[in-house]
Amino acid sequence: MSTADIAADQHDDHHDHGPAKGLTRWIYTTNHKDIGSMYLWFSLAMFLVGGCMALVIRAELFQPGLQLVEPGFFNQMTTMHGLIMVFGAVMPAFVGLANWMVPMMIGAPDMALPRMNNWSFWILPFAFGMLLLTLFMDGGAPNFGWTFYAPLSTTYAPPSVTFFIFAVHMMGISSIMGAINIVATILNMRAPGMTLMKMPLFVWTWLITAYLLIAVMPVLAGVVTMMLMDIHFGTSFFDAAGGGDPVLFQHVFWFFGHPEVYIMILPAFGIVSAIIPTFARKKLFGYASMVYATASIAFLSFIVWAHHMFTVGMPLAGELFFMFTTMLIAVPTGVKVFNWVATMWRGSMTFETPMLFAIAFVILFTIGGFSGLMLAIAPVDFQYHDTYFVVAHFHYVLVPGAIFSIMAAVYYWLPKWTGHQLNEKAGKFHFWMSFIGVNVTFFPMHFIGLAGMPRRIPDYALQFADFNAIASVGAFIFGLSQLIFVWNVIQNIRSGKKAEARCWEGAEGLEWEVPSPAPYHTFSTPPQIDGAK
Amino acid sequence: MGIKKIILAGCLGVLGGLSLSAHADWEVNLTPGVTEISRSVYDLHMIIFWVCVAIAIVVFGVMFWSMFHHRKSRGAKSAHFHENTTVEVIWTIIPVGILVAMAVPSAATLIEMYDPSEAEIDIQVTGYQWKWKYDYLDEEISYFSNLSTPRDQIYNAENKGENYLLEVDNHLVVPVDTKIRFLLTANDVIHSWWVPELAVKKDAIPGFINEAWTVIDEPGIYRGQCTELCGKDHGYMPVVVEAVSKDEYASWVATTKAAATAKADLASKSWTLDELMAEGEQVYLKACAACHQPNGEGLPGAFPALKGSPIAVGDVAAHIDIVVNGKPGTAMQAYKDQLSAVEMAAVITYERNAWGNNTGEAVTPAQLADMQWGMDQLMATGEEVYLKACAACHQPNGQGLPGAFPSLVGTEIVKGDIAKHIDIVVNGKAGSAMQAFKDQLSAEEIAAVVTYERNAWGNDVGDSVKPSVVASWNGGAK
């Protein structure tokens, strides 16, 4: 792709539009780069908080018996860890990346709805502040798991459940507004000549993700509102004694929950589809089939939800339907993996930090996909369901999946954001420690799950002891190695060799046409796309 | 299996060097189990596992080959090919084929699991926070199964036993080679009943009944756990199934029934405060301490303290009521279905005298039984009993049939001395059609019907009879 006169447009006209000074810059900002940065910092903070909770869990599970925490607090930790990682770490990180990169990738000057963008972000610290403060309430924080099944989360919940519901509402509002903003930006603000089928895959995957968000976040809001009504206003949606059904909760929750899973992975597909061609110095093998595969996965995500509920006692026809549709997801997912491998094939590869994370993503996400395929087989799922096998599965797709892709993205675009070249030594050290840590933590969980250890228990029978000890050691390796990441990012902001506009040799796309660091305002006049992509 | 061992050894080697505690088991795979279904589940699991391994070897093999050979440092120049419809169709079709091949046996096993044919034994499994209750529907056997691992083992004060956290006071005893149907439900939140060796895992959902079944091939003890997060002690409600031969099962049924009768007799024994305290402590630790804590101090904000609480040192009736009937909308369960009158009396006595509560009050089993029988309850039950046992002669309106069966409206027997009234119902009236109901009705039923007769049809005497009074009547009632 060649673009005309971009660098020339970047200055002169706008030198008086730099950021405001001090704290008000961050409170009032409508700049997509500022907001993107805030999302990413917020996500990092939540990642560390949620990570500490994971370490409490793993420390307690290091040995059988109760050593550090009581079962009630243990349940609060598992619940808060899940909620914070899903809604506070992974989702805001992707929104932050979208804020930073989508306008620059499509040649737009900013997001379509900049004030709403500011509000979308600023809701989050309050939502999570409130959620975290429930830890200090009488009765403690939510303790019913991040899936909050009724009636454990209604009739039998601690008083903090009401604050939890309010926090979820706030997160939902934030996500929906963020998603609307991304859709509006992508559909209306592309540079002339940037047709839909010329958009970078990261933009495509985010467009589809945004539609998923708009479709399912209201469903989540609905289900927590039904809980609120059951708890405070005498309804019986989830109470059989009043004519309701606890299983209704699970259907509604997972109708949100399964697309939510793809909300957390589709943008990762986009990131990896940007990084692998760069470092293989070769075009992505099948751009169109990647787009169609993403759309197929998004469509299928709406008709597979009950595979999370194979043991609730569905009729045979329901079990068969959800088993078959779930297995089908393997097809478009396979297409993606094959595409990445075909892109690497006969490329000219180098292995800088972003590429290492991207390759680890492909391998480890695929392992998570295999265990997902195993879980799809309903009769066998009766054995896997709610065991550590499931914990291993979804951590494989979320940690070396979603989280690794976010780290790859940060390392990939960091020079663009800060104007400094990456410290490859620290980056590679971080990668290898994370890679080892993740596998030592989560691989043994397959074994203890198959051997019969249920999830969400603070204490376990002796035959699970050895692998649990190993997993705990791995968790601390993984957790501590994130400090290298934090150090590396901060160092990169403060100093480092000057990065060029196109700081990776094989990188393509509009974001590499603007200088590094990217000026506060980019593409105030749209670039020309000449169609020679 | 050789390859698997090698892969496994490789994994362990990577993780190795770690010398770990002595109870090493290193169990890495699903159990094949002891039923036909569990074996086909295991086979499916192994097939899909090896399919995944094969795909992984191909895909990762290509990837690693490429990563090794097509690197810039080895002078690789990037090719320019992209988009190839033939290749893309092939790598879409092949996975579809593999999936269809997987779907067929999976569906077959699933259909087998849903076999609706009649079972020989029906057992209702009810999940409670945090224990299981088993009702043998054809045998009138019913009991709770609680974790039996001592607290000291959990808190590392003593060495953990072999079946740490997987042991219970009462096993679920079932015969082998018999189709057993489980009817699963729950009393409070959703639980899930899982025994890996049987490949049975089904959610127990309050207000609904789920079904599962099994036919066990080999006698043995099979251990599982609750697998749905059900609150604080979710990790402490194991399932233990003991499969025995059909003969042993028959004799187990007989002895269990006899033991249940013996236990019922305890209710009529007279209990001293010390006996109640001793029994009460056992019951408390089993049924109450999980929430209210062994020291009675509760968990602030979640579970109230009993030490010095208005319930435990205040009105005894209110105390009995909350234990018997629970407190709706809270985690406080109704214990009337879980504990016997003796156990409830003992635990209430214990709570009223332990931890410095020292009220000195003893609640007897009889008192407790009476507490459950308020006036409304007596009248409601009394009407049912009357219509069943008395109305044929005395007529539903109590007016009898003149000359044959005396009227009970406003007559001496129902308005006068209550002792005579009780006596005639319990022991009958020799030489008349009035039977001795002590052999036909329970003490509760007699108490209820006498109360009903004294207050229905405008008799309005206003007094009532407690079951304990009837139970100790001369000659006694059943």
> What secondary structure, in 3-state letters, does chain B show?
CHHHHHHHHHHHHHHCCCCCCCCCCCCCCCCCCCCHHHHHHHHHHHHHHHHHHHHHHHHHHHHHHHHHHCEHHHCCCCCCCCCCHHHHHHHHHHHHHHHHHHHHHHHHHHHHHCCCCCCCEEEEEEEECCEEEEEECCCCEEEEECECCCHHHHCCCCCCCCCCCCCECCCEEEECCCEEEEEEEECCCCEEEEEHHHCEEEEECECCCEEEEEECCCCEEEEEEECCCCCCCHHHCEEEEEEECHHHHHHHHHHHHHHHHHHHHHCCCCCCHHHHHHHHHHHHHHHHHHHHCCCCCCECCCECCCCCCHHHHCCHHHHHHHHHHCCCCCCCCCHHHCCCHHHHHHHHHHHHHCCCCCCCCCCCHHHHHHHCCCHHHHHHHHHHHHHHHHHHHHCCCCCCECCCECCCCCCHHHHCCHHHHHHHHHHCCCCCCCCCHHHCCCHHHHHHHHHHHHHCCCCCCCCCCCHHHHHCCCCCCC
Is B253 in the same domain as B181?
Answer: yes
Is residue A333 annotated as part of the catalytic site, yes or no?
A: yes
- b/e B250-267 (16+ beta carbons within 10 angstroms → b): eebbeebeeeeeeeeeeb
Rounded Cα gap, residues A501 and A98, in angstroms:
20
Pairing of strands B200-204, B220-226: unpaired
Kindly determine whether residue A344 and residue B163, on different chains, have CB atoms separated by under 8 Å.
no
Is B379 in the same domain as B367?
Answer: no
Is B366 in the same domain as B380?
Answer: no
CATH code at position B167:
2.60.40.420
Is B252 in the same domain as B129?
Answer: yes
Kindly determine whether residue A338 and residue B91, on different chains, have CB atoms separated by under 8 Å.
yes
Token pair for A168: 């979820």
Kindly determine whether residue B235 and residue A386, on different chains, have CB atoms separated by under 8 Å.
no
Render pLDDT for B420-458 as a digit per residue (tens, 0 to 9). 898 888 888 876 778 778 777 788 888 899 999 999 888
Is B333 in the same domain as B278?
Answer: yes
* Residue B262 maps to a domain: no
B476 pLDDT band, cuts 50/70/90, is very low
| pTM score, whole prediction | 0.83
Query: Which of B338, B371, B404 marks a domain boundary?
Result: B371
Q: Which residues share a beta bridge with B240?
A: B223
Is the CB of residue A363 less than 8 Å away from at least one CB of chain B? yes
Kindly determine whether residue B102 and residue A377, on different chains, have CB atoms separated by under 8 Å.
yes
Kindly determine whether residue A152 and residue B107, on different chains, have CB atoms separated by under 8 Å.
no
Higher pLDDT, B181 or B326: B181
User: Chain A interface, mutation test: which of B8, B11, B15, B77, most A Cβ atoms within 10 Å?
Assistant: B15
Which of A288, A374, A466 has its CB closest to that of B49?
A374
What is the ipTM for the molecules in this complex? 0.91
Q: What is the pLDDT of residue B406?
A: 86
What distance in Å separates residue B409's CA from the closest CA in chain A? 40
**Which of the following is catalytic: A37, A79, A153, A175?**
A175
Residue B198 with chain A: CB contacts under 8 Å: none
CB B207 within 8 A of CB A45: no
Is residue A258 annotated as part of the catalytic site, yes or no?
A: yes
Per-run averaged pLDDT (10 residues), chain A, 533 residues: 46 59 90 96 97 97 94 95 97 97 96 96 97 93 95 92 97 97 96 94 97 97 96 93 94 97 96 96 94 96 96 95 96 96 95 97 96 96 96 96 97 96 95 97 96 96 95 97 97 93 92 93 88 45
* Residue B13 maps to a domain: no
Is residue A110 annotated as part of the catalytic site, yes or no?
A: yes
Kindly determine whether residue B205 and residue A313, on different chains, have CB atoms separated by under 8 Å.
yes
Is B164 in the same domain as B252?
Answer: yes
Is the CB of residue A365 less than 8 Å away from at least one CB of chain B? no
Is B242 in the same domain as B213?
Answer: yes
CB B214 within 8 A of CB B245: no
Rounded Cα gap, residues A100 and A103, in angstroms:
7
Residue A319 with chain B: CB contacts under 8 Å: 110, 114
Q: Which amino acid, B282? A: Q
CB hemisphere CA count around A226 (13 angstroms): 22
Rounded Cα gap, residues A19 and A38, in angstroms:
14
* Residue B222 maps to a domain: yes
Whether the per-residue pLDDT at B236 is higher than 80: the answer is: yes
Query: Which of B326, B356, B371 marks a domain boundary?
Result: B371
**Which of the following is catalytic: A14, A251, A281, A455?**
A455
Residue A447 with chain B: CB contacts under 8 Å: 26-29
Rounded-to-10 torsion of CA A373, A377, A381, A387: -10
Kindly determine whether residue A444 and residue B15, on different chains, have CB atoms separated by under 8 Å.
yes
What distance in Å separates residue B441's CA from the closest CA in chain A? 32
Rounded Cα gap, residues B87 and A120, in angstroms:
43
Kindly determine whether residue A379 and residue B302, on different chains, have CB atoms separated by under 8 Å.
no
* Residue B447 maps to a domain: yes
Which of A311, A452, A469 has its CB closest to that of B192?
A311
Is residue A146 annotated as part of the catalytic site, yes or no?
A: yes
Rounded Cα gap, residues B209 and B193, in angstroms:
13
Q: What is the pLDDT of residue B358?
A: 85
What distance in Å separates residue A70's CA from the closest CA in chain B? 9
Kindly determine whether residue B299 and residue A385, on different chains, have CB atoms separated by under 8 Å.
no
Note which residues in 302-331 of chain A have CB less than 8 A from chain B: 311-313, 316, 319-320, 323-324, 327-328, 330-331
Q: What is the pLDDT of residue B7?
A: 54
Average confidence (pLDDT) over B25-34: 86
Residue A240 with chain B: CB contacts under 8 Å: 205-208
Contacts of B34 (CB under 8 A, 6+ apart): B197, B198, B216, B217, B218, B220, B222, B243
Give CA angle at B386 (B384, B388), nearest 5°. Answer: 70
Is B248 in the same domain as B331?
Answer: no
Domain residue ranges of chain A, discontinuous segments joined by +: 6-11+26-512
Whether the per-residue pLDDT at B299 is higher than 90: the answer is: no
Is B130 in the same domain as B250?
Answer: yes
In this structure, of A211-225, A456-470, B112-126, B272-286, the range with the lowest mean pLDDT score is B272-286
Which of B56, B190, B202 has its CB closest to that of A246?
B190
Render pLDDT for B144-187 as a digit per residue (tens, 0 to 9). 898 999 888 999 999 999 999 999 999 999 999 999 999 999 98
Kindly determine whether residue A467 and residue B26, on different chains, have CB atoms separated by under 8 Å.
yes
The residue segments making up the domain with residue B418 are: 375-471
Give the SS3 label for residue A349.
strand
Note which residues in 435-494 of chain A have CB less than 8 A from chain B: 440, 443-444, 447, 450-452, 454-463, 465-467, 469-470, 473
Query: B21: burial class by Cβ within 10 Å (0-12, 13-18, 19+)?
Result: exposed
Is B54 in the same domain as B158?
Answer: no
Count of structural domains, chain B: 4
> How many of the other CB atoms lie within 10 Å of CB of A123?
19
Whether the per-residue pLDDT at B3 is higher than 70: the answer is: no
Rounded Cα gap, residues A172 and A123, in angstroms:
10
B313 pLDDT band, cuts 50/70/90, is confident
B417 pLDDT band, cuts 50/70/90, is confident
> How many of the other CB atoms lie within 10 Å of CB of B162?
10
Whether the per-residue pLDDT at B24 is higher than 60: the answer is: no
Token pair for B104: 């067929």
CATH code at position B430:
1.10.760.10
CB A421 within 8 A of CB A499: yes
Average confidence (pLDDT) over B52-74: 95
Q: What is the pLDDT of residue A477?
A: 97
Q: What is the pLDDT of residue B474?
A: 57
Is residue A420 annotated as part of the catalytic site, yes or no?
A: no
Is the CB of residue A235 less than 8 Å away from at least one CB of chain B? no
Is B408 in the same domain as B358?
Answer: no
Residue B226 with chain A: CB contacts under 8 Å: 454
**Which of the following is catalytic: A29, A79, A273, A278?**
A273
Q: Is A465 left (phi over 0), alpha (psi -120 to 50) or beta?
A: alpha
B5 pLDDT band, cuts 50/70/90, is low
Q: What is the pLDDT of residue B376?
A: 83
CB B341 within 8 A of CB B365: yes
**Which of the following is catalytic: A9, A34, A60, A110?**
A110
CATH of A6-11+26-512, one of 1.10.357.140, 1.20.210.10, 3.30.365.10, 2.60.120.330: 1.20.210.10
Residue B76 with chain A: CB contacts under 8 Å: 346-349
User: Chain A interface, mutation test: which of B29, B106, B168, B240, most A Cβ atoms within 10 Å?
Assistant: B106
Task: Name residue, tokens 């006169």.
Answer: A5
Kindly determine whether residue A316 and residue B201, on different chains, have CB atoms separated by under 8 Å.
no
